[in-house]
Amino acid sequence: MTDLKLQLTKLFEETFNAQPNHFFQAPGRVNLIGEHTDYNDGFVLPCAIDYQTMIAASLREDDKVVVTAANYDGQKTEFVLNRPIPASKGAKWSNYLRGVATTLLKKGYSVKGANLAIAGNVPQGAGLSSSASLEVVTGLALSRLSGLEISLKDLALTGQEAENHYVGVNCGIMDQMVSALGENDHAMLLDCRSLDTRSVAIPEDAAVVIINSNKKRGLVDSEYNTRRSQCEQVASHFKVKALRDISLEDLEEQKSQLDELAYRQARHVITENARTLTAAEVLPTGNLKLMGQLMAQSHASMRDDFEITVPQIDAIVEIVKGVIGERGGVRMTGGGFGGCVVALAPTDLVDDIQSAIDQQYFDRTGLTADIYVCNASQGTSVLI
C-alpha cells in the first residue's frame, strides 16, 4: 500500500470507527508549455504528475457529507446536501468539496451522503494544482459513490465551475482537465475551446524536473485577473470571442490602436499558442534541443511581454539553463509571480541540475528550492 493510502486508512478508522470501502485519487499537474492561453480559448501542453490527492470513502445512510483532512491535523467538518451549502470559514480547505457538491447538485445530480478522509502530497501554493486535484477527486468520489456515471471531462468542468463560482478563483480549464484525463508517460495537448485532447508521448530518456522556488506567490489572484481582463479587452477590440481568434499579423496591423502593455500581453498569448502547437509535434520526436528553444522563447515571452515572472524564478531558469545548455528546456510553469520552474532534460543531467541549484540558488536569492523529479501520470482513478 502507498504511504498516502496507509495514512488515509488510519485516519478514516480513527475518525469513523470503520474501514473505508473505496479509494479515489487525482493528480497535480505541471504545464510543459502554453501559459495563460487556456482562458483565451487557446492551447496548453501539461502532464499530470505522480503527486496526488487521495480520498478514502464510504457511503452514509443520511444526506450528510462528513470529511476529515490529514493535511490539516485531522480537522473535521460536515455539510448537508439537500439545502444550500454554506462556505466554511474555519475549514477553508473544505470549500473545494463544498463547491464541487454544490455544483453537482446545481447540475441536477442526486448526490448521496458520505464519510470522506482526504490526504495529499501535491505541494500546496506552489502552482502544481493541488486545488484542481482536490476538486477532481471530490467529484469522482461523490459521483461514483452515488452511482452517477459522469464523464471525466464533465468532472473537470464541475471542478472548474466550483473554483470559479464557489471558491471565487477565475481559473481556466487546463488544471482540472489534465488532473482528470492525464496519461502515463504522456503530456496532453488540450484545445481549450473544443476541449479536444491529444496524447503526446514524452521521450523515455527525458526527465520532467520541477523546481519549486519557494517564493510565496504574492498578488497572484489580482494579477491573474488583471491579465485575464486585459486579454479580454484586446479580444473585444478585435470583436472576436477570444485572443485565439486573431493572428500575429492582425495584432501588428492594429498595434498603433492598442495600449503598449495590452499589445505585448496579446502578443504573448498569440505566440505562446503557436509555440504550444509546435511543441506538441516536436516532443514525441525526442528533439529536446528544439523543445529547449521553444521553452526558452516561452519563458522570455512570460518575462518580457506578459510580465509574470519574478527574479527568483528567472534565477532558477538561468541556473538550470547553464547546466542543460542545448540538451533540453526550462521555463516558468503555472500562473506566475513565484511558484515553480519546469525543465525537460536528459535523465543523466538530473543530478547536475540538483547540485547547481544547491550551489547557486541560495546565494543569488536567499531562498532554498525543492526539486521534484516526476513521471507523467494517469489522471483521476478509482483505486482498488
Binding site for ligand GLA (CB under 6 A): 31, 35-36, 38-39, 171-172, 174-175, 334-335
Q: Are strands 22-31 and 46-59 parallel, antiparallel or unpaired?
A: antiparallel
175 catalytically annotated: yes
CB of 284 to ligand GLA, least distance (A): 22
Among residues 38, 175, 305, 314, the one annotated as catalytic is 175
Q: Of the two residues 20 and 329, which places its CB atom closer to ligand GLA in the complex?
A: 329
| 7 Cα distance to chain centroid | 24
Kindly list the distances between the CA atom of residue 4 and the CA atoms of 10, 52, 69, 196, 372, in Å, as whole numbers in the listed order: 10, 9, 12, 32, 17
CB of 183 to ligand GLA, least distance (A): 20
Are the C-beta atoms of residues 43 and 189 closer than 8 Å to each other?
yes
Q: Of the two residues 120 and 334, which places its CB atom closer to ligand GLA in the complex?
A: 334
CB of 54 to ligand GLA, least distance (A): 21
Q: Of the two residues 22 and 29, which places its CB atom closer to ligand GLA in the complex?
A: 29
Count CB-CB contacts under 10 A for residue 273. 21
Q: Of the two residues 16 and 224, which places its CB atom closer to ligand GLA in the complex?
A: 224
Which residue in 135, 133, 137, 72 sits closest to 102, CA to CA? 135
With residue 215 as reference, give the H or E element that holds it: none
CB of 35 to ligand GLA, least distance (A): 4
CB of 315 to ligand GLA, least distance (A): 21
Dmax over CA atoms of the chain, in Å, equals 68
Q: Of the two residues 105 and 169, which places its CB atom closer to ligand GLA in the complex?
A: 169
CB of 20 to ligand GLA, least distance (A): 30
At 38, which amino acid appears? D
What's the rounded Cα separation, in Å, for the pair 299 and 318?
A: 11
Torsion of CA 190, 191, 197, 200, to 10 degrees: -50
Q: Of the two residues 172 and 338, which places its CB atom closer to ligand GLA in the complex?
A: 172
What's the rounded Cα separation, in Å, for the pair 104 and 135?
A: 12
Residue 53's contacts (CB-CB under 8 Å, 6 or more residues apart) are: 25, 26, 27, 28, 118, 119, 120, 122, 130, 133, 134, 137
Catalytic residue set: 175
